Amino acid sequence: MKALRITGIVLISIFMVIVTCLFTYSFAFKEMVKGVATDIIDFSSIGNSELNMSSVTDDPKVKEIMENKDVQDFINKYIDTTLEGFSGKDVDVDLSGDLIELIENNKEVFNEAGIEISEDDINEFKNSDDYNELNKQYSELFDEVREDTSNSEMGFIRTFSFMGTNSFRIVCLVLIFVSVLLIGLLSWSLYKWLLPIGIDSLISGVLTLSGGVLISMFSTAVLKGYTIKTISLFATGGALLIVGIIMIILYVIFNKKGKKNEVSKVSE
């Protein structure tokens, strides 16, 4: 019976480590998908474009604009929208309106970078055919990109996009809670469950931190100028290590007290 309980605790612990790592990695999955999608989707090859992306992004003026928060939010919004479209969701955007809003809110940024934009320029664009055609061009571009992306790449994007959602995280949390509950029941003790869960937390923390390092190295070595943000992995990995250490220390303290109580009872 004891062997079965120990086997059960070990199997559930392994399952819990896997689910915990999936939960912690879910906060980086979206960034990973953005990075890999940016790498595997070759926008510069669409149509007959011969745009040299590296030469454009190396321009100091362009870099100054790209570092602006509103510009970053604008870019991330349309990366997210594209990924949602790949995941099967309907893509409904107002690119023209969003672009005008971006320019109107950041005219000083563009002007300081040497790109003079006046109200007359904005009004002229609003009244031009280009304004009405921009959303149509985006939809056509999106369709071309989707056609040029292989099924395996599309599958990667869809799978990891889902794994970065709150729905996936809730499922992971429920499974972690059930695992903790089962380990507690199998331990038959008020404190002995602290040891396996503490060890699980330590292992999950080490794997999460290791994953953060590997993803950072992958981002630098492979992706085309896209840096995957791994701060969430380092933060959650560190937190798991601390929680694991605290749980193991508590187990040692309670276990010593338990043994002392047993000795005192025997001596009586």
Degrees to nearest 5, angle at CA 40 with 93 and 43:
50
77-100 mean pLDDT = 73
Domain-located, residue 205? yes
181-229 pLDDT, tens digit per residue, is 999 888 888 888 999 999 999 999 999 999 888 877 776 666 555 566 7
User: What secondary structure letter does DSSP report for 227?
Assistant: P
Pick 41 or 150 by higher pLDDT: 150
CA proximity to 183, closest of 28, 6, 52: 6
Domain-located, residue 153? no
CA proximity to 234, closest of 19, 12, 31, 16: 31
User: Looking at 12-16, 71-75, 137-141, 264-268, which range is the least confident one?
Assistant: 264-268
Q: Are residues 137 and 199 in the same domain?
A: no
CA distances from 44 to 53, 55, 215 (A): 8, 13, 25
In the listed set 148, 174, 208, which residue is the last one of a domain according to the structure? 148
Q: Could you please report the per-residue DSSP string of 60-109?
A: HHHHHHHTSHHHHHHHHHHHHHHHHHHTT------HHHHHHHHHHHTHHH
Domain-located, residue 157? no
Length of the chain: 268
Note whether 1 and 186 are within 8 A (CB).
no
Write down the pLDDT at residue 102: 84
- Residue 217 dihedral angles phi and psi, to the nearest 5°: -65, -40
- Please state, in angstroms and rounded to a whole number, the distance separating the CA atoms of residues 210 and 240: 13
Note whether 122 and 77 are within 8 A (CB).
no
Q: Are residues 20 and 69 in the same domain?
A: no
Pick 22 or 141 by higher pLDDT: 22
Note whether 175 and 13 are within 8 A (CB).
no
Domain-located, residue 160? no
User: Looking at 32-36, 158-162, 178-182, 248-252, which range is the least confident one?
Assistant: 32-36
Overall domain count for the chain: 2
Q: Are residues 142 and 176 in the same domain?
A: no
For residue 82, is pLDDT > 90?
Answer: no
In which band, very low, low, confident or very high, does the pLDDT at 111 lie, cut at 50, 70 and 90? Answer: confident
Pick 147 or 263 by higher pLDDT: 147
Q: Are residues 190 and 101 in the same domain?
A: no
For residue 164, is pLDDT > 90?
Answer: no
Domain-located, residue 34? no
In the listed set 148, 179, 201, which residue is the last one of a domain according to the structure? 148
226-237 mean pLDDT = 79
Q: Are residues 141 and 172 in the same domain?
A: no
- Please state, in angstroms and rounded to a whole number, the distance separating the CA atoms of residues 85 and 89: 5
Q: What is the rounded (10 degree) CA torsion for 58, 64, 68, 74?
A: -40
Q: Are residues 125 and 217 in the same domain?
A: no
Domain-located, residue 56? yes
For residue 174, is pLDDT > 80?
Answer: yes
Domain-located, residue 175? yes
Q: Are residues 223 and 251 in the same domain?
A: yes
125 three-state secondary structure: helix
CA proximity to 199, closest of 257, 250, 255, 258: 250
What percent of the chain lies above the pLDDT cut of 70? 71
Q: Are residues 128 and 55 in the same domain?
A: yes
Q: Which residue has the tokens 């979206």?
A: 30
Determine the structural domain holding residue 69 and report its residue range.
42-148
Domain-located, residue 124? yes
Q: Are residues 98 and 15 in the same domain?
A: no
Q: Are residues 117 and 177 in the same domain?
A: no
Q: Please report, as a single letter, which amino acid is at residue 173.
A: L
Q: Are residues 240 and 174 in the same domain?
A: yes
CA proximity to 148, closest of 40, 52, 48, 30: 40
Q: Please report, as a single letter, which amino acid is at residue 205.
A: G
Q: Are residues 187 and 130 in the same domain?
A: no
Q: Please report, as a single letter, which amino acid is at residue 41.
A: I
Write down the pLDDT at residue 38: 53
